[in-house]
Chains A and B, each alone.
Chain A
């Protein structure tokens, strides 16, 4: 079946540090890949997505590249801010009529001033 594996958190960084959150996946066919973010006290919202190999999704300074050869979709940001503190979920959708979404376990990021 489909699965998503994320690096465990929490991740604590100082403001302006470089961020990488690793994500690898297992899926049949050609999945679409997503990063969702959940700010404290809020629901999830889509951060970025990539629908085919070598695509790069980007939003709010975050980037992730769909790497089919390594089945990875690592999230990166060059300079994090305190406001980026949140839980980040990697996810994929593959197969099925509406392309059921499978989530990773989430990685909590805390950015300190």
Chain B
């Protein structure tokens, strides 16, 4: 298993500002994933973050809006840039240990006013 810590757990932000979410894992992992869970909806993969390379973004998500850093094998950040109310979501960091088996952080609940 893996223990994943995310910060902040929740925040309320103003439109047009940016917020960086941090994800710390208690073991070294090759791949880290960022998901978005909009209110009442399922999880959508934003991007895959590999250490030492650019993140890979899913369709509908772009680096300018969601820049990601992965400086080492235990840490990653996701920035939500130029926020609008539509960005209000829970953002989840996750890692995979066994194929397909994800471990999640508790999520960062973001409200944009």
Q: Which residues of A contact B (CB under 8 A)?
A: 31-32, 34, 36, 41-46, 49, 89, 92-94, 98-101, 103-106
A99 and B102 CA atoms in complex are apart in Å by: 10
Given pairs A42-B107, A93-B101, A103-B43, 15 additional interface contacts (CB within 8 A): A31-B100, A32-B99, A34-B100, A43-B92, A43-B106, A46-B103, A49-B100, A49-B101, A92-B100, A98-B48, A98-B96, A99-B96, A99-B99, A101-B100, A101-B102
Q: Are B43 and A89 in contact (CB under 8 A)?
A: yes
Interface string of B60-103 (1 = CB under 8 A from A): 00000000000000000000000000000000101010011111
A94 and B92 CA atoms in complex are apart in Å by: 21
Interface size bucket, B side? 20 to 34
From DSSP, what is the main secondary structure of chain B's interface residues?
A: strand
Chain A residues closer than 8 Å to B102, beta-carbon distance: 36, 44, 46, 101
The listed residue (B31, B43, B48, B96) touching A44 by CB distance below 8 A is: B43
Name the interface residues of B9-52: CB closer than 8 Å to any CB of A: 31, 41-43, 45, 48
Q: Are A42 and B106 in contact (CB under 8 A)?
A: yes
Least CB distance, A40 to chain B, in whole angstroms: 12
Least CB distance, A50 to chain B, in whole angstroms: 11
Assuming the contacts A89-B42, A103-B42, asked whether A45 and B104 have C-beta atoms less than 8 A apart, the reply is yes
Q: Are B42 and A104 in contact (CB under 8 A)?
A: yes
The listed residue (B48, B100, B101, B105) touching A43 by CB distance below 8 A is: B105
